[in-house]
Amino acid sequence: MEKRPTILVTNDDGYLAKGLQTLASLMRQIGKVVVVTTEEVKSAQSHSMTINEPLRVRTLEKHDDFEMYVLNGCPVDSAKVGFQMLMDEYPDILVSGINHGSNASTNVIYSGTMAAVVEACMDGIPAVGFSVEDYSHDANFEHIEKYILDITRRVLKEGLPKGVCLNVNFPKYSEGNPIKGVKICRQAKARWKEIFDKRKDPHGREYFWIGGDFIVEDEGTDTDIYALKNNYASIVPTQYDWTAYDVMNELKKFEK
């Protein structure tokens, strides 16, 4: 009998999130699942790690084919503790999500969901992050389940190029409007324009509440934003090497 793959599941929305529970349930159709996630919501934590306080782990479930742990850290901590401390050997794949909200375009820079994916990728583990354009705590994931299963199975079977992980985003569920398909995309050029709401607390001390608008500065038809707007799932091949190789020769003038 063929050995079932071992799958490490994490997220940045915490252990109570519907997206995490849905992803873990889907992965149990494929292999043995180990869930390691955070006590609290850790959205927009990017690649934060816990280094100034101890990491504490609680075991919620432990069976032959399913384990679930919660720790008081960030998503990157979840990944590291998961495959380095809680598992007997590295997983065959790490999947992160399903994130409640888009991680398309430059959102990937802030994403705790994708930070866990990148962390696994740096250790040579195939890794995929899944997100949907729905911020509701009760988001509908029915329309994306078959795509998540298919993408995960294909990565397990075919692998990924060295140093590359996948950032997968899905449009929000729309009744009578099924997803048209999946497109391989580039990351759209966009940015957040912050809006700071200045307030005062009961003691008269000023504080700021951050908000903002997401400004898309890209009219390309090959981007993740374009795919989502046209009801396609987007897959962006993502890498942790941030070197701008195309301008290295141009910048040789700075050498001495």
For residue range 221-255, list pLDDT tens digits in order: 999 999 999 999 999 999 999 999 999 999 999 98
For 127-150, the pLDDT digits (tens) are 999 999 999 999 999 999 999 999
Long-range contacts of 173-178 (CB under 8 A, 24+ apart): 173/132, 173/134, 173/139, 173/140, 173/141, 173/142, 173/143, 174/231, 177/231, 178/143
| pTM value surpassing 0.75 | yes
pLDDT at 46 over 90: no
Smallest Cα–Cα separation from 227: which of 173, 183, 197? 183
pLDDT at 169 over 90: yes
CATH number of 6-189+221-240: 3.40.1210.10
pLDDT at position 17, please?
95
pLDDT at position 28, please?
97
Q: 192 pLDDT band (50/70/90 cuts)? A: confident
pLDDT at 210 over 90: no
Pseudo-torsion of CA 149, 185, 135, 98, nearest 10°?
Answer: 30
Instruction: Work out the average pLDDT over 97-119.
Output: 94
pLDDT at position 1, please?
62
Smallest Cα–Cα separation from 232: which of 175, 167, 160, 184? 184
What distances in angstroms separate CA 19 from CA 71, 87, 194, 213, one per listed residue? 18, 23, 27, 25
